[in-house]
Amino acid sequence: MGKEIELKLQIAPQAAGLAVQWGEAQGEMNLRPLRSVYFDTPGRSLAMAGLSLRTRYDGAGFIQTVKAAKGKAAGLFTREEWEKEVVSERPELGTDTPLAGLPRQTLDALAPLFSVEVERGSLDIARGNSVIEMAIDTGVVAADDRRADFCEIELELKSGEPHALFELTRELDALVSLRLGVMTKSERGYRLLDAVAESAKAGSIALSADLSVEDGFAAIASACIRQYRINEDILLRRRSPDALHQARVGLRRLRSALTLFKPVVADDRHSRFGDELKWLAAELGHARDLDVLYDRARSNELRIAIARLRESAHGALEDTLGSARARALMIDLAEWIAVGAWRDAEDRAEGQTSTGEFAAHALEKSFRKFKKHSEGLAALSDEDRHEVRKLAKKLRYGSDFFAALYDDKKRAKRHHRFIDHLQSVQDHLGKLNDMAAAPGLLARNGLDETDGAEGVLSGADTADTLRKAETARDALVELKPFWV
């Protein structure tokens, strides 16, 4: 068994040739075709267990590899792997990998699900006292009659410090415009088997109560980056409104995590990341506002006017997402999460030694703040209700982050009830916010005099929504918290 520390990066297929030329200038590059076949059961038992099984032919022979992922990563992947030579494309299941612990019927049901064929150029690159293997893969994933092209660079640390992976990444980015990679090749195959996704919602986060608070933050922040990057890719391919919304959710969740864990992760870069994420979220916000307006427009004239503005806004957004600033932000964040200065700090807040202890304290603090600021909700100003809405979101994100810590039957039931009530509060507050913001949004875009603008607020009953919001809020604060 070995441990793989690897940074995945995406590049445009047309930039592959330039990347190969750069690699060849660093030393002798080994070029070879690779064909990998991935196995799982029809019900995807291996994927559900966090495992992947493949056999790969490299022109000389077959290698079987089993990998065990420790949660979903963002850029920097650390995985345990087991490799051995086999005589054919069919896997040989022994007793020396995690597969040995699976039920016999699962192993008997393993079958090829998809294949990955790549042209790989690879070489070792020395940077200081570190040695990094760089592999440039240009290839295709095939499942049944579906195919998807891709091009990626993998940087695997052979010796030395992980920082060297990111230093080399910045050197390459200046040449071929890299984006942080968040999916393994096996994930590409599984996604190809599924229906084309318009967006990717936040997934569950594998946490345990005894996990260090530092590693708990890293898992949560990486999950947020992953959500953002998957949706960013969908957005750039198809301008999907759902992907734009979920990309913004990913950024908001990440900003909430930075705030929530500030006692643990605050260092000389913490505030800078908060500012940069706020900037990026605002850049996505303009196009998102127009998406929402378009859905609510009732007249053809208004829809046509909004559609023109949307087209321009999405074009500008694509330029922003392709900028060096936006690309570097995700790569810098991945490095900071993995090996930032905050991990070496000695002045940790007293008592915050594990994720479980930290979660209970953080959730209680967030709930108290929400209760205090939401008192007398119906009488609050629009601005104050907007602040309450943001507090509700932060409470929701924290509750979602730590859900895995409260999965026993009793607390899971309380968690589910808490989320249901909190969702009701968020829904009503969201409607109130839309009512308050719509006139200004129409005016800022020069649409307030357009035929049909008055219909954007048609049927809106502010008084009724306020009553429902306050009732939902009062029901929520009466619940017994799931974290106690």
Instruction: Report pLDDT for 1.
Output: 47
Give the model's confidence band at 298: pLDDT under 50 very low, under 70 low, under 90 confident, else very high. confident
Question: Percent of the chain having pLDDT more than 70?
Answer: 94
Give the C-alpha separation, 39 to 14, whole Å: 30
pLDDT of residue 409 exceeding 70, the answer is yes
Dump pLDDT digits (tens) for 258-284.
999 999 999 999 999 999 999 999 999
Q: Two tokens at 473?
A: 């809020």
Q: Grade residue 457 by pLDDT with cuts at 50, 70 and 90.
A: low
User: How many helices (H) and strands (E) would you count in the chain?
Assistant: 15, 9
Helix (H, G, I), strand (E, B) or coil at 213: helix
For 334-347, how does the pLDDT look when each residue is reduced to its tens digit (9 = 90+)?
999 999 999 886 65
Cα–Cα distance for residue pair 133/127, rounded to 1 Å: 11
Q: What is the mean pLDDT of the chain?
A: 91
Chain segment 67-101, per-residue pLDDT in tens = 987 554 455 566 688 999 999 999 998 888 889 88
Is the torsion defined by CA of 119, 34, 182, 240 positive or negative?
positive
- Min mean pLDDT across 247-251, 331-335, 344-348 is at 344-348
Residue 371: pLDDT band (50, 70, 90) is very high
Mean pLDDT of 36-58: 94
What average pLDDT score do residues 169-197 get? 91
What is the CB neighbour count within 10 angstroms for residue 178? Answer: 24
pLDDT digits (tens, 9 = 90+) for 110-166: 999 999 999 999 999 999 999 999 999 999 999 988 999 999 999 999 999 999 999
Residue 128 CB: number of other CB atoms within 10 A? 10
Helix residue ranges per DSSP H, 266-408: 270-296, 300-321, 324-339, 355-373, 382-401
Looking at residue 348, its pLDDT comes to: 52
pLDDT value at 196 more than 90: no
User: Would you state the pLDDT for residue 5?
Assistant: 78
pLDDT greater than 70 at residue 390: yes
Q: What percent of the chain has pLDDT over 90?
A: 78
Which one-letter amino acid corresponds to residue 453? Answer: A
Q: What is the pLDDT of residue 77?
A: 60
Query: Which H or E run includes 121?
Result: strand 111-127
When pLDDT is averaged across residues 280-295 and rounded to a whole number, the result is 94
Q: For residue 46, count other CB atoms closer than 10 A to its CB.
A: 24
State mean pLDDT over 404-416.
95
What's the whole-number mean pLDDT along residues 368-384? 95
Cα dihedral across residues 55, 56, 57, 62: positive or negative: negative
Per-residue confidence (pLDDT) for residue 105, from 0 to 100: 93
Confidence check: pLDDT of 308 > 70:
yes
DSSP 8-state assignment for residue 456:
G
Mean pLDDT of 104-115: 95
Instruction: Give pLDDT, residue 349.
Output: 47
Report the SS3 class of residue 162.
coil
pLDDT at residue number 216: 96
- Tell me: pLDDT of 370 over 80: yes
* Spatial distance between the Cα atoms of 192 and 186, rounded to a whole number of angstroms: 10
Q: What is the pLDDT averaged over residues 384-399?
A: 96
pLDDT higher than threshold 60 for residue 383: yes
